[in-house]
Structure 1
Amino acid sequence: MSTSIVFIVYVNEASQAARFYADLLEIKPSFETPGYIAFDLGDGADLALWSGQIDGPIPAVPRTSEVCLALPGGPDAIDRQFERWVAKGVRVVSEPHDEVFGRTFVVADADGNLIRVAPVD
């Protein structure tokens, strides 16, 4: 079995989405083409943004991805991350609240893909 995994998030405009994710996650792309941009997350994991085509975006395509950023530090760390991202102007889907797995919130990228922040398991 491979020791590498790539999580692909479908977007309309890869370069625009890459700027959003680079700013949000405070990382730089590790691989770039016009319609596919990847970020090395470490330990054999990558986050890739893929437009699925090079001819142009298809805005009507529904987006259903959810990626989760697992943070150490407990509820206070989750709330601080929320405040930092809100200051960057992200679209909030769900404000910080407690779930069975701990404190969490959800934001969305320009394509409607969800980004959850939750505690490390």
Structure 2
Amino acid sequence: MPPSIVFIVYVNDAPEAARFYADLLSIKPSFETPGYIAFGLGDGADLALWSGHTDGLTPTVPRTSEVCLALPGGPDEIDRRFEQWVTKGARVVSEPHDEVFGRTFVVADPDGNLIRVAPVD
């Protein structure tokens, strides 16, 4: 069996964060406990929300990593996704703009964790 990889995002309230990510990404959890909820991303990759280590974490604590959703479809698709997520109430950190790798934007989850949308490489 090939190894799998789990990207863990620390949150204060796993069920609340799971509702946010499920709505934002239109996916359902593949594993749930009160403090740890995972979403299968395919090909041995999961996104997990864990409320087990939140000492001192608040939305105001600077986050130095990002979860990145890579979309096909070019700049227009990036802009469409931005509008969808703003409508869903995502907190905008960086509006759509062009970078060396293409069109991108960043939002934050309720705990301040960063979520970037960018084009597929």
1:24-35 to structure 2, matched below 5 A, reads 24-35=24-35
Q: Which residue of 2 aligns with 1:111?
A: 111
Q: Which residue of 1 aligns with 2:43?
A: 43
* C-alpha separation in 2, matches of 1:69 and 1:93: 15
* C-alpha separation in 1, matches of 2:68 and 2:52: 22
Identical residues among aligned pairs (%)? 82
1:38-77 to structure 2, matched below 5 A, reads 38-52=38-52, 58=55, 60-61=56-57, 62=61, 64=63, 65-77=65-77
Query: How much has 1:43 moved relative to structure 2?
Result: 1.0
Query: How much has 1:63 moved relative to structure 2?
Result: 5.8
Query: How much has 1:106 moved relative to structure 2?
Result: 0.1
TM-score (norm: length of structure 1): 0.91
TM-score (norm: length of structure 2): 0.91
Unaligned runs of 5+ in 2: none
Matched position secondary structure for 1:52: coil
Matched residue count? 117
1:63 to 1:32, Cα distance in 2 relative to 1, 3 A? farther
* C-alpha separation in 1, matches of 2:7 and 2:33: 17
Q: Which amino acid aligns with 1:110?
A: P
The CA RMSD measured in Å over matched residues stands at 1.5
Q: Which amino acid aligns with 2:116?
A: R
